[in-house]
Amino acid sequence: MAITDISNITESSRWQDITTGNQIYGPGTSVAFQTGEWRTQTPVWNADKCKQCLLCVPVCPDSSIPVKNCERTDFDYDHCKGCGICAKVCPFDSITMKEGQ
């Protein structure tokens, strides 16, 4: 039987137990990987300029902008890939992109 839950894959898992094409059928598996290390640009959040409009939150394809108590907090750099969409939609220039990680 193929493994469909990423949490069940270990170093001792047999290749025969992995799904065809290594497809993952379970939801929410991206949290198991720190994809932020792929980043070539890094968003920098200036909390003083931020008006908490939260326009950046729904456009983040990686859900890397945490919100607590109806206010955004700093980026989840473990998962942010540095696409820059958040910086483009911010009307207050509170997010800038810097080169590198």
| Predicted local confidence at residue 71, as pLDDT | 96
| pLDDT reading at 96 higher than 80 | yes
How much is the pLDDT for 26? 66
Helix (H) or strand (E) holding 57: helix 56-59
Q: Give this prediction's pTM.
A: 0.68
- The residue-averaged pLDDT of 7-13 equals 67
Largest CA distance in the chain: 53
Sign of CA dihedral 58, 59, 63, 66: negative
User: At residue 24, does pLDDT exceed 60?
Assistant: yes
Query: Looking at the domain 34-101, which fold is it?
Result: Alpha-Beta Plaits (3.30.70)
When pLDDT is averaged across residues 2-16 and rounded to a whole number, the result is 64
Domain segments of the chain: what residues?
1-32, 34-101
